[in-house]
Amino acid sequence: MGFPENFIWGAATASYQIEGAAYEDGKGLSIWDVFCKRPGAVFEGHSGDVACDHYHRFREDVALMKELGIKAYRLSISWPRVLPEGTGAINEKGMRFYEELADELLKAGITPYVTLFHWDYPYALYKRGGWLNPESPLWFEEYVRKIAGRLGGKIRHFFTFNEPQCFIGLGFNGKEHAPNLSCSNQDLLQMAHNVLLAHGRAVKALREVIPGCLVGYAPTGTSYYPATEKPEDIEAARKAIFSPDRDNWPFGIAWWSDPVLLGRYPEEGIRSMGEDMPSVAPGDLELISQPLDFYGQNIYNSRPVESDGKGGFRVVPFPAGYPRTCIDWPVTPESLYWLPKFLYERYKTPIVITENGMSCHDVVSLDGKVHDPNRIDFIHRYLRYLRRAVEDGVDVRGYFHWSFMDNFEWCRGYDERFGLVHVDYTTQKRTPKDSFYDYREIIRSNGETL
Ligand code: FCB
């Protein structure tokens, strides 16, 4: 049976990771511009100041996308590039960049899928309290209305937020991301609530301004798969994925997705938060749970679990020498079967894999090519499991490979290479890797070569 005829084969990137031009054409500062300058914050002091210089080279990059044959390209918009103060006046040059990029993609026959927020938060708004400020959902709505008003004629597919787990959970929970604050659980929960309200407002605004547009969400979260296919282990994995508690909720799935898709916070989580729970005003959850056209999920790996025999679960350790990617994430292709299946069962919304891919130590070889057999193997393994999900009746609409090209990997700087296209950051030369040509065949054959 395989993948449906209209399956969306795509690739993804994000603004701060590829654009560069951090101080050009009136762009405002983002929290990542500021964070990267902090000594020790990012591997070897790297920053996205220049990155892949995509801001100037986007035509060359779109030509490569066309050669790759992707049907859709997931990009994100830099909020401070279009609204330097976060609200108020539009920076015309910044907006023009996205208009021209959209035109170029459409000309190449590639559908743009826009993520409205992929972490480069306007520094001006951060100084006003950022996501902790009760006005923050309104700021986001204003930005989204402006984007929709200007780009709605060219762009009809949107994701609101990329991985709130990371920009809240890793940014404000003493972890490694900008702005690297350590907030109380109460403040984290309040920020999360404001982000969810912002999501709801954005979905409503998009639908008002661009009738007929398609809107999704792109979270991530710790996930699990059953160590065996015994019913009790499958139940254990389901339980492990969706039970939020006080300690793991920022990186979990249910806290961020139940309100959006089911219109409620998970009961078990509410109980464990106690007095830290934010106040939820009447109408908040209706606003947050606007119907979505698809549910995006970024999926890289998961852990095997088994039943503990008492209705709970136990994580099963990986055997010695288990395969890992360069960024040290385990290779668990099962993730692309079990997680879409569990998500579809729970949320009953078509699934899009918004990110999946691997970091390798890719080099340009003496023959001028980039041989990345590990990535090819990774893609095949994962996509075979995704195909199994499709064949089992999970409504999977698309797959966006992370990433189209090597780029700035947040606090790991340029040390990690996730691309199908190799980027030499000294010369900005692009070299399609072997995986580029292999993925092209997967796309051309609609998955028959897997
Ligand atoms: C995800 C991010 C993306 C990229 C990949 C490797 O968490 O959304 O920007 O960094 O990981």
Whether 450 shows a pLDDT value over 80: the answer reads: yes
Whether 246 shows a pLDDT value over 80: the answer reads: no
Q: With the C-alpha atoms ordered 84, 87, 89, 95, is the resulting torsion angle positive or negative?
A: positive
Q: Which residues contact 244 (CB under 8 A, 6 or more apart)?
A: 252, 254, 255, 266, 268, 269, 272
Q: How far is CA 299 from the centre of its chain?
A: 9
Mutate-to-test residue for ligand 1 from 402, 408, 412, highest number of ligand atoms within 8 A of CB: 402
User: To which residue do tokens 């193997």 refer?
Assistant: 377
Residues classed as catalytic: 163, 355
Q: How confident is the model at residue 244 (pLDDT cuts 50, 70, 90)?
A: confident
Taking only the tens place, the pLDDT of each residue in 187-223 is: 999 999 999 999 999 999 999 999 999 999 999 999 9
Flag the least confident range among 174-178, 234-238, 283-287, 342-346: 174-178
In words, the CATH class of domain 8-444 is alpha beta
pLDDT at 11: 99
Yes or no: say if 132 and 190 are a contact pair by the CB < 8 Å rule.
yes
Whether 264 shows a pLDDT value over 80: the answer reads: yes
Whether 62 shows a pLDDT value over 80: the answer reads: yes
How is the chain split into domains, by residue range? 8-444
Q: What is the atom index within ligand 1 of the atom nearest the CA of 359?
A: 6
Q: With the C-alpha atoms ordered 397, 118, 346, 389, is the resulting torsion angle positive or negative?
A: positive
pLDDT at 247: 77
In the reported structure, the alpha carbon of residue 14 is separated from the centroid of ligand 1 by a whole-number distance in angstroms of 9
Yes or no: say if 338 and 304 are a contact pair by the CB < 8 Å rule.
no
The three-class DSSP label of residue 262 is helix
Taking only the tens place, the pLDDT of each residue in 89-134 is: 999 999 999 999 999 999 999 999 999 999 999 999 999 999 999 9
pLDDT at 227: 98
In the reported structure, the alpha carbon of residue 342 is separated from the centroid of ligand 1 by a whole-number distance in angstroms of 22
Yes or no: say if 201 and 141 are a contact pair by the CB < 8 Å rule.
yes
In the reported structure, the alpha carbon of residue 299 is separated from the centroid of ligand 1 by a whole-number distance in angstroms of 10
Taking only the tens place, the pLDDT of each residue in 44-58 is: 999 999 999 999 999
Q: What is the atom index within ligand 1 of the atom nearest the CA of 166?
A: 7
